[in-house]
């Protein structure tokens, strides 16, 4: 990788993929303008998600489950690094099920029946990712201008 001050957008995207196990859509845009910010964020992310008392896989599943509970499509993307960290479809299902139940206990939350749709989406994504099939967790914004 080149000197951090001369980091290219492609190098920043690759760095994020290596350290985060994915490159968030917003950083595909940010890295075009400020690749150093992408590298810095990836280092921060890895400091939290790295194996410790809890494994990276478990942390990614926890975050994904929170995405189910809050019906956040931008959080359920964590199914991707969870699978890359070794999560099975069954583990994704169980974590998503916990998120579904959590949705019934979140103040002013979406409720179990609505979060269930996100749980199903997580399992569908995990199956596609494991098979190497094309997948999408969220339609791209209409204003993307072809950047990603």
100-111: pLDDT as tens digits: 999 999 888 899
Contact 129, 83 (CB under 8 A): yes
Residues 40 and 97 placed together within one structural domain of the fold: no
| Statement: the pTM of the whole predicted model exceeds 0.85 | yes
- Tell whether 12 and 62 lie within a shared domain: no
Question: How far is it, in rounded angstroms, from Cα 93 to Cα 145?
Answer: 35
* Residue 3 counted as domain residue: no
**DSSP state letter for 89:** H
Say how many C-beta atoms besides its own lie within 10 A of residue 67's C-beta.
25
If asked whether residues 61 and 116 sit together in one domain, one would say yes
**Helix or strand or coil: residue 133?**
coil
Distance of CA 144 to CAs 44, 57, 139, Å?
26, 30, 11
- Domain presence at residue 143: no
Same-domain pairing of 45 and 67? no
- Say if residue 4's pLDDT is above 80: no
Task: Encode pLDDT of 98-145 as tens digits.
Answer: 999 999 998 888 999 999 999 999 999 999 999 999 988 887 666 655
Residue 61 and residue 42 share a domain:
no
Q: How far apart are CA 7 and CA 39, in angstroms?
A: 9
| Residues 42 and 11: beta-carbon distance below 8 Å | no
Q: Residue 45's domain spans which residues?
A: 8-49
Number of domains in the chain: 2
């Amino acid at each position: 990788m080149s000197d951090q001050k001369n980091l290219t957008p492609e190098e920043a995207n690759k760095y994020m993929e290596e350290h985060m196990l994915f490159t968030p859509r917003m950083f595909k845009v940010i890295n075009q303008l400020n690749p150093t910010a992408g590298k810095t964020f990836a280092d921060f992310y890895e400091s939290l998600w790295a194996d410790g008392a809890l494994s990276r896989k478990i942390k990614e599943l926890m975050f994904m489950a929170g995405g189910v509970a809050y019906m956040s499509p931008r959080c359920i993307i964590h199914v991707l690094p969870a699978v890359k960290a070794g999560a099975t479809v069954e583990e994704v299902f169980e974590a998503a099920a916990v998120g579904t139940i959590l949705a019934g206990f979140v103040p002013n939350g979406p409720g179990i029946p609505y979060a269930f749709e996100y749980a199903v989406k997580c399992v569908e994504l995990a199956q596609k990712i494991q098979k190497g099939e094309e997948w999408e967790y969220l339609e791209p914004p209409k204003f993307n201008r072809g950047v990603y």
